[in-house]
Chains A and B, each alone.
Chain A
Amino acid sequence: GDSVTQMEGPVTLSEEAFLTINCTYTATGYPSLFWYVQYPGEGLQLLLKATKADDKGSNKGFEATYRKETTSFHLEKGSVQVSDSAVYFCALSDRDMGRRALTFGSGTRLQVQP
């Protein structure tokens, strides 16, 4: 079945540091890929998405590129802020599976220190 693997956290960075959160996936079809962010006690918010190979999703300074050859969708940001502290989830939606639900990774907690 489909699966998503994320790097374990927490990831602790100083403000203005460069961020990378690794995400790799296994899927039988041609998935769309997503990054969601969850702030404490809240639901998930869509951060960015990519629907086909070599697409780059971007939002709020975050970027991720859909790499089919390495089955990866790593999240990056050039300069993190304290307000970026949250849990980040990588997810895929495999259109060929039909049910259109998302398969999530286990999440990576980011802590940004001032």
Chain B
Amino acid sequence: DGGITQSPKYLFRKEGQNVTLSCEQNLNHDAMYWYRQDPGQGLRLIYYSQIVNDFQKGDIAEGYSVSREKKESFPLTVTSAQKNPTAFYLCASSAGTGAYEQYFGPGTRLTVT
């Protein structure tokens, strides 16, 4: 089955540690995205990538980094510089043509204490 996988489902880290969230897709989509969701709020864009080896900052990129070395993979690193890292992180992808609908992974809930 085609889809987007994110791992792990739950992640716990101590303050001051960097942590990397995995996102893999087998939909052959060109574009991939990372969003952050806080309780009772909508999704905010962290980073996006429209093609391999290229990515752009979204609205809340500070304290995060990404890479796009393969079409299928778009890992997100939450660095110690991110002031409020505890959140639900969602990865998405899209074909990049047509109506630009995005398909989402199941999410990773990160808790930093």
Task: Give me the interface of A with B, judged by CB distance under 8 Å.
Answer: 4, 32, 34, 36, 41-46, 49, 51, 89, 93, 95, 99-102, 104-107
Contact status of A43 and B104, CB under 8 A, knowing A49-B99, A101-B33, A101-B48: yes
Q: Point out the residues of chain B lying under 8 angstroms from A100, CB to CB.
A: 31, 48, 50, 94, 96, 100
Indicate if the CB atoms of B41 and A106 lie closer than 8 Å. yes
Contact status of A99 and B56, CB under 8 A, knowing A44-B104, A93-B100: yes
Q: Point out the residues of chain A lying under 8 angstroms from B75, CB to CB.
A: none
Indicate if the CB atoms of A43 and B96 lie closer than 8 Å. no
20 A-B pairs whose Cβ atoms sit less than 8 Å apart in the complex: A4-B42, A32-B99, A41-B109, A42-B106, A43-B104, A43-B106, A44-B92, A93-B99, A93-B100, A99-B48, A100-B50, A100-B94, A100-B96, A102-B45, A102-B92, A104-B43, A106-B41, A106-B42, A107-B40, A107-B42
Nearest 8 CB-CB pairings of A with B: A104-B42, A43-B104, A93-B100, A44-B104, A106-B42, A32-B99, A51-B99, A104-B43
What's the interface size class on B, roughly? 20 to 34
Q: Point out the residues of chain A lying under 8 angstroms from B6, CB to CB.
A: 43
Indicate if the CB atoms of B106 and A89 lie closer than 8 Å. no
The complex places the Cα of A101 from the Cα of B33 at a distance, in Å, of 8
Does B77 interact with chain A (Cβ within 8 Å)? no
Interface of B is mostly: strand
Known A100-B48, A100-B50, A102-B43; further 11 A-B contacts with Cβ < 8 A: A36-B104, A43-B4, A44-B43, A46-B101, A46-B102, A99-B48, A100-B100, A101-B45, A102-B100, A105-B42, A106-B42
Task: Give me the interface of B with A, judged by CB distance under 8 Å.
Answer: 4, 6, 31, 33, 40-45, 48, 50, 56, 58, 90, 92, 94, 96, 98-107, 109
